[in-house]
Structures are given as structure tokens and as C-alpha cells.
Amino acid sequence: MTDLPILLQNLTSIQEQALAELESVQDEAGLQAWRTAHLGRSSAVMRVFSDLGKLSKEERPQVGQNANQVKLALEGAFNLRSDELRQAALQRSLQNERLDVTLPGRAPTLGSLHPATQNLREIYRVLGDMGFQVYRARDVESDEYNFELLNIPAHHPARDMWDTFHTLTPGVLLRTHTSPGQIHAMREYAPDPVRVILPGMCYRYEQISARSEIQFNQVEMLAIDKGITFGDLKGTLNDFARRLFGDEVRTRLRPSYFPFTEPSAEMDVECFVCGGKGCPICKGSGWLEILGCGMVHPTVLKNGGYDPAVYSGFAAGMGPERIAMLRYRITDIRYFWGNDVRFLEQF
């Protein structure tokens, strides 16, 4: 027979003492020790449970209920304290674990595409969106395709426009432009309409200097169909320029001469560096010359297998390295084939 009030009083003091001890717990180890001491199998409150059997039937429910309340209170307090301590620990670690974020990062071993490839791909993408597909042709070409079929007969003064590398095989040369591809493509497509991009390495017999190279990429576009006009040429080039240089860029055409187009023109775009106000890149003029173009010459159409009275078309050609030089302010064209990593790494 026990004294019920004493039992209940005892439970209250168990709770008070445990909570008081919990206050002073400061770490995970202390927390676990506290739990063993106050909620473990041999803790005071659990002993009350295990001793319930010794109580009278009348006392049992009330003591049990009270003990349960104490247990719940202690568990609640434990969880709360545990949370507090975890938060405090996190806070401490956040404060202590500080990096010098200005230390250099560890470099991954990255590769890169050559800038010429990047330029070509950009042009393929833009022109591809406009329905032009890449058609490639050979580097070592016949005089016939490089000149004659393009309306540049032997000894014609227009040949002075191209300083040519010849091979020891008569009539075989290094193409001076991608235009032989016009004939290759037309002869393959005729009489279907043509809309192709002609990219590739071209060669000119020129002293290598910061401004001129013996080899360079060229990209041409060629469109042949019934009813293609000079207005279409302008519209297509305007769209092309906007995609490449910005939605607001202005363009203009100046009359020019190429034997394989007529009318022929040079296209200038408003300087994308200064917006046309004049700067060192555009040499103060506000304009940058970026491509040559024109309506395909009737002789070339005929040589390609199209009747010039029925079909018309346009061609336009540009030097992607030259455009890249303007864009990235590359001062020396020799960088492109020099392959110095200090150049390549910048793209």
C-alpha cells in the first residue's frame, strides 16, 4: 500500500528534475546520456511504469496516466532541446567553415572548337534556318570550274582579281574561291531549285602578313529558282545580317564587279562596334564591308544547266575569318592557322 499523493508528487519532481537537467545539456553526447537517464529502461519514470503492477486497482489508472504525461512531456522537451542543439551546431559550423572564395577554382580539362569551325557553324545555323543546306566541293580544282565556267575565260583581265596557286599539273589549281561549287551544285541539282551554302578553304597567292593569308575560309550562298530577284537577294542578306549582327543593324549595297554575277554588289553593315557613329574598327566610316554578292550571271546559269531566260538566282560570298576579325578585334589574321593555344583558348 503506497501513498497516492506521494507517488504523484514524486512524478512531478521526476519531471522537474529531468527538465532542469535538460537545460544544462549542451551537446549530442549529453543529450543521449540524458535520454538514457530520464527516458531509458531504468529511468525513474519508466520504473514508475514497471512498478504499476504493485499498485492497487484504484491507484493504477491515475498514476499510469500521470506517468504517461510526464513521459510525453520529457520526450517533447527532448525533441525540442535536440532541435535547438542541432540548430546551434549548424549555426556554429556555418560560422566556422569559411572558404576563401577568391582562391582559384580547379580547372577541368576542357576542349574547344577552333574559331574557324565556330564561325562556320554559326553561319550554317543562320543560313540553315533560311533553308540553305551545306554543299561542299574540292580544294584542288580545275581551271575550268574555278574560272572558265564562271565566266572568267583564259587571259581575261578579270583573272587579275585572283592571285592563283597553280599546281604542276596543267589546268589544275587551288581554288581561289568557293564559287566552283556553284557549278558543281547546279549541275547536280538542275533543273530543281537550288538553295545551298558553299563553304570551304580557298587559296590566294599573296604574301602572308597580318592582313592577308594564303588560305582562308569562304562561305557562299546560292539560290536558283524561277522568279528570284535582286529584291530577294537584299531581303535574304538583310535577314542574314540581322541574325549575325543584331536585329537593328542596317545594311547597304554598293555596286561592284564579279564576273559570275550581274548586277554585282558589296554589302556593308553598319559597324556593330560603334553602331555607325565611327570608330577605329570601321575606320570612322560607320560601315563594315562584309560580303560580295549579285544576281547569278546568265552565262553561269547556262553553264550550270539552267535557262537564264526562265531561271534566275543570286549568290553571295563572305570570309568568315574576316568577319571574326572584326567581331573579336583580331589584329593578325595569321593567328587562325598559327594554332597558338593562347589564341585558341580565348574562344
Partner 1 sequence: MNVPLSWLKDYIDIDLSLEELARALTMAGLEVDSVKVIGLPLPEGERHEFKYSGLAWDREKVVVAQIDEVMPHPNADRLVLCRLNDGLQEQVVLTGAPNLYDYKGQGPLPRPIKVAYAKEGAQIYDGHQPGQVLTTLKRAKIRGVESYSMVCSEKELGISEEHEGVIFLDDDAPTGMPLADYMGDAVFEISILPNMIRNASVLGVARELAAITGKPLRLPQRRLPADGPSVVGQVSIQIQDPAMNPRFVVGLLRGASARPSPYWVQRRLRLAGMRPINSIVDATNYVMLETGQPLHAFDYDHLRQRAHGQPPTIITRAAHPGEKLTTLDGVERNLDPFTTLVCDTEGALSIAGVMGGLESEVTPQSQTILLEGASWNFINVRRTVASQRLNSEAGYRFSRGIHPALAQEAVQLCLERMAAWSGGQIAADLVDAYPAPVVDPVVELPASEVQRVLGIELSAEEVAGLLRRLEFTCTVQGDIVTAQAPAHRLDIGEGVVGRADLLEEVARLYGYNNIPAVRLSASLPRQRRNPALEGEERLRDALVRAGLREVATYRMTTPEREARALPLGAVQAETPYVRLANPIASDRTVMRRSLLASVLEVVERNSRLRPRLAFFEIGPVFLPNPEAPLPAEPVRLALALSGARHIAAWDRPEAHAMDFFDLKGILEAAFNELHLSDVRFEPTQHPSFHPGKCALVRVGERVAGVAGELHPKVAEHYDFGAAPVLAAELDVAVLLSCIPARYEIQPVPVFPPVLEDIAVVVDEDLPAEKIEAVIRAAGGKLLTDVRLFDIYRGDKLGEGKKSMAYSLTYMAPDRTLTDQEATQIRQKVIRRLDQELGAKLRS
* Residues of the binding site: 262
- Are 293 and 218 in contact by the 8 Å Cβ rule? The answer is no
Q: What angle do CA 21, 24, 27 make, to 5 degrees?
A: 115
Q: Which is nearer to partner 1, 8 or 327 (CB)?
A: 327
231 counts as binding partner 1 under rule CB under 8 A: yes
Residue closer to partner 1 by CB (options 91, 133) is 133
Q: Quick check: 338 binds partner 1 (CB under 8 A)?
A: yes
| 126 counts as binding partner 1 under rule CB under 8 A | no
CB nearer to partner 1: give 57 or 342.
342
Nearer to partner 1, 37 or 140 (CB): 140
Task: Judge whether 112 and 345 are in contact, CB under 8 Å.
Answer: yes
Which residue type is seen at 273?
V
Determine if 139 is a binding residue for partner 1 (CB under 8 A).
Answer: yes
- Rounded CA separation 48/263 (Å): 108
3 state DSSP class of 254:
strand
By CB under 8 A, residue 209 contacts partner 1: no
CB count in 10 Å sphere of residue 198? 24
Residue 33 in contact with partner 1, rule: CB under 8 A: no
Among 5, 111, 247, 248, binds partner 1 (CB under 8 A): 111
Angle between helices 4-24 and 59-96 (to 10 degrees): 0
219 contributes a contact to partner 1 by CB under 8 A: no
Would you count residue 299 as binding partner 1 (CB under 8 A)?
yes
165 binding partner 1? (CB under 8 A): yes
Report if residue 308 touches partner 1, rule: CB under 8 A. Answer: yes
Element (H, E) at 257: strand 251-258
257 is a site residue for partner 1 (CB under 8 A): yes
Compute how many residues bind partner 1; rule: CB under 8 A. Answer: 101
DSSP state of 256: E
- List 48, 291, 295, 330, residue binding partner 1 (CB under 8 A): 295
Residue 291 beta carbon to partner 1: minimum distance, rounded to whole angstroms: 14
The region of 10-18, 21-29, 80-88, 115-123 touching partner 1 under the rule CB under 8 A is 115-123
Backbone φ and ψ of 265, nearest 5°: -150, 160
| H-helix or E-strand spanning residue 23 | helix 4-24
Interface with partner 1 (CB under 8 A), residue from 61, 191, 246, 284 = 284
Which one, of 150, 176, 164, 177, lies nearest residue 260 by Cα?
Answer: 150
Using the contact rule CB under 8 A, the part of the chain among 21-29, 45-53, 64-72, 104-112 near partner 1 is 104-112
> Where is the binding site for Mg(2+), in residues?
262
- Contact between 293 and 260 under an 8 Å Cβ cutoff? The reply is no
